[in-house]
Amino acid sequence: MSNPNTAARKLPRLLLTGAAGGLGKVLRERLKPYADILRLSDIAGMDAATGPGEEVVPCNLADKQAVDALVAGCDAIVHLGGVSVERPFEEVLEANIKGVFHIYEAARRHGVKRVVFASSNHVIGFYKQSEHLDAHAARRPDGYYGLSKSFGEDVAQFYFDRYGIETVSIRIGSSFPEPLNRRMMSTWLSYRDLTTLMEKCLFTPEVKHTVVYGMSANKDVWWDNSAAAHLGFVPQDSSEVFREKVEAQPPVAADDPNAIYQGGAFTAQGPF
């Protein structure tokens, strides 16, 4: 059901970074109804055959001038672009840390008032799976990638406090067609729920800087979204339908990070 607080439903021009990636491809299709023009951007090549209402603007997020030009003329930004797994710091620095700063600087310069930032559960990855968190829990990043998302959330808060640019930072759990392992039974976010959440993030009238956990209505969850109730996000899917398939996988050892930490294997990657 739609959020009664959700106002306008179509933006003149919406920027989608990371459009060539896994979630970018999904949202390229699903965000079309919410924008007259969807501006698609990535450093990687993508299907350049633009459909009606699409435009493709290639860009390296590490290039400040290029990002400035990318953001010009846009009304809102869904920022998915960047390194999406644990990588050496220098790579994360360019794409994620400089990248997110460039996005907000460009938003400030061009008067963009709403950003949806693809943060990650890896900002809190070092909590145990036995712990339950809301959005106010202190962050415990589980690597350079998690640190970059934590920085992004701080940048979002700063640009709201200083310039009034509103952001929803979605701490996405695991958004794939289906949960791939036992850990993802808790962290899974279906594409349908991701799309609904994006719509809430873009159109809820006042969000300030909201942090929301991106998860479906899974049975055993670690996260509490009460601090983001104003978004009116009510997930429809649950990982339960995949339980039999997931539990047919070999058991995970009790001392495996995948069985201990919310961030799973990310907590044990590197040093590079």
- Of 145, 159, 191, 261, the catalytic one is 145
Q: Does 21 bind ligand NAI (CB under 6 A)?
A: yes
Contact, 4 vs 230, CB < 8 A? no
Can you state the percent helix, strand and coil of the chain, rounding each to 5?
Answer: 40, 15, 45
Which tokens sit at 132? 């339950």
β strands within 104-252, DSSP E? 114-120, 166-172, 209-214
Closest by CA position to 228, among listed 186, 188, 184, 169: 169
Nearer to ligand NAI, 88 or 164 (CB): 88
Q: Does 177 bind ligand 15L (CB under 6 A)?
A: no
Q: Which of 17, 60, 84, 267 binds ligand 15L (CB under 6 A)?
A: 84
The residue written with tokens 């290639």 in the block is 58
Whether 145 is catalytic: yes
Say whether the peptide bond before residue 12 is cis (omega within 30 degrees of 0). no
Residues contacting residue 86 through CB under 8 Å, at least 6 positions apart: 122, 143, 144, 145, 146, 266, 269, 270
Q: Does 85 bind ligand 15L (CB under 6 A)?
A: yes
Under rule CB under 6 A, which residues in 101-120 are in contact with ligand 15L? Answer: 120
Q: Does 120 bind ligand NAI (CB under 6 A)?
A: yes
Identify what 187 binds: ligand 15L, ligand NAI, none; CB under 5 to 8 Å per kind. ligand 15L
What one-character DSSP code corresponds to residue 102?
H
Nearer to ligand NAI, 48 or 254 (CB): 48
Q: Sign (positive/negative) of CA torsion 207, 209, 211, 214?
A: positive
Q: Does 121 bind ligand 15L (CB under 6 A)?
A: yes
Identify what 20 binds: ligand NAI, ligand 15L, none; CB under 5 to 8 Å per kind. ligand NAI
How far lies 87's CA from each of 11, 95, 105, 216, in Å?
A: 35, 11, 25, 27
Q: Does 66 bind ligand NAI (CB under 6 A)?
A: no
Q: Which of 35, 78, 81, 216 binds ligand NAI (CB under 6 A)?
A: 81
Identify what 62 binds: ligand 15L, ligand NAI, none; CB under 5 to 8 Å per kind. ligand NAI
Positions that interact with ligand NAI (CB under 6 A): 18, 20-24, 42-44, 59-62, 80-84, 94-95, 99, 118, 120, 172, 174-175
Instruction: Return residues touching ligand 15L (CB under 6 A).
Output: 84-85, 120-122, 174, 184, 187
The residues that are catalytic are: 145
